[in-house]
Amino acid sequence: METETASDEDSFSAFPKHVWYKDELLYQLKGFWFRPHYLEGVQRVLNLYKPRPTDVLLASFPKTGTTWMKSLIYFIVSRSSGSLLDVKHPHELVPSLELQVYNSSAGQSSNAACCAKPRLLSTHIPYQILGEAVATSDCRVVYVTRNPKDTLASLAHFIAKADNDSDLLSPAAATDMFLKGFVPFGPYYEHVLGFWKEHVRRPASVFFVTYEELQESPGAHVKRLAEFLNCPFEGEEEVDEVVRKCEFGNLSGYAANRSSEVPEWIEAPYSSFFRRGTVGDHKNYLEEKDAERIDEMTKEKFHLAGFTY
């Protein structure tokens, strides 16, 4: 993982900060934690991004199925050019606002996706921070989430990979960090609840789906998503084609998705976005007592808000 530089530290000295992984600092904005260079991107997004009513914005907490949703959205919206998924990584087809589009080194207009209509964009910025701009533009938001235990397991593996396959964080320490919210774009629970509440309030503008629902009945949710995006299917064959195309086994085989190249906008290789792609993999990482602590918090935070995991 990239370590913080003195200049990063200087520019954020007014923000609350907290150490998370290997002495790296996270900085807090409106109750959420960010790595310094992500926070710069977030600030640029808040200053520069003017959502259009035609924009499709995929929002998610990291490691909850963003890459899968990118491929689904891309294929549903641009069916005739869906074969680009054979040669390009989903993150290059649906770029992140804060990491790619408004990332200082990438430059905001360098990305072809920004000229497409509708613009297909993604973000990890919480609704509590980005929401006002999004709500007033009435663009369509798609939110994907995943059960917190698998999200944490996936994050631990991702961090290790980005850190050149160093040892996995101890499950107890990772659980502590996660439950206290000290992870990039955390706290996870508040992130999910921000979009969940907005989905309940404005279901026609904010689509909500879980990774587990997608695994369980992909066709049903792909159909629902296509209708939400105003690109309904003509028949079941089309639905099956999208589902098959975006299946883990298919997508993870393409050279662009197996690549060990590290893009300029994140420290991890392209291949790190495809690991196992299953439900319940936390059992291979978390101890039972850690899983129980997470379950307790999940009940406390989600069930009260009418969202069940």
Give the nearest distance from C-beta 60 to ligand A3P in angstroms: 6
* Alpha carbons 276 and 2: distance in angstroms, whole number: 25
Give 101 or 251: the residue with its C-beta nearer to ligand A3P.
Answer: 251
> In the structure encoding, which two tokens stand for residue 38, read together?
């992500």
Q: Binding to ligand A3P by residue 147, rule CB under 6 A?
A: no
175 and 294 Cβ atoms separated by less than 8 Å: yes
Give the nearest distance from C-beta 157 to ligand A3P in angstroms: 5
Contacts of 82 (CB under 8 A, 6+ apart): 74, 75, 242, 245
Give the nearest distance from C-beta 256 to ligand A3P in angstroms: 13
Q: Binding to ligand A3P by residue 62, rule CB under 6 A?
A: yes
* Alpha carbons 121 and 100: distance in angstroms, whole number: 10
Pairing of strands 17-19, 206-210: unpaired
Give 63 or 223: the residue with its C-beta nearer to ligand A3P.
Answer: 63
Give 103 or 123: the residue with its C-beta nearer to ligand A3P.
Answer: 123
Q: Binding to ligand A3P by residue 221, rule CB under 6 A?
A: no
User: Where are the extended beta strands (E) located within the chain?
Assistant: 17-19, 25-29, 32-34, 56-60, 120-123, 140-145, 206-210
Taking alpha carbons only, the member of 52, 65, 179 closest to residue 124 is 65
Give 12 or 59: the residue with its C-beta nearer to ligand A3P.
Answer: 59
Give the nearest distance from C-beta 225 to ligand A3P in angstroms: 14
Q: Binding to ligand A3P by residue 275, rule CB under 6 A?
A: yes
- Rule CB under 6 A: choose which of 239, 246, 256, 286 binds ligand A3P: 246
Contacts of 292 (CB under 8 A, 6+ apart): none
One-letter identity of residue 167: D
Stretch that binds ligand A3P, among 1-9, 64-72, 77-85, 297-305 (CB under 6 A): 64-72
Give the nearest distance from C-beta 72 to ligand A3P in angstroms: 8
| β-bridge partners, 123 | 59
CA-to-CA dists, residue 36 to 11, 65, 92, 250, angstroms: 9, 24, 23, 35
Q: Binding to ligand A3P by residue 276, rule CB under 6 A?
A: yes
Q: Binding to ligand A3P by residue 254, rule CB under 6 A?
A: no
Give the nearest distance from C-beta 195 to ligand A3P in angstroms: 14
- Rule CB under 6 A: choose which of 64, 111, 122, 298 binds ligand A3P: 64
One-letter identity of residue 272: S
Give 12 or 70: the residue with its C-beta nearer to ligand A3P.
Answer: 70
Q: Give the interface with ligand A3P as residue ranges (CB under 6 A).
A: 60, 62-68, 150, 154, 157, 246, 248, 251, 273-277, 281
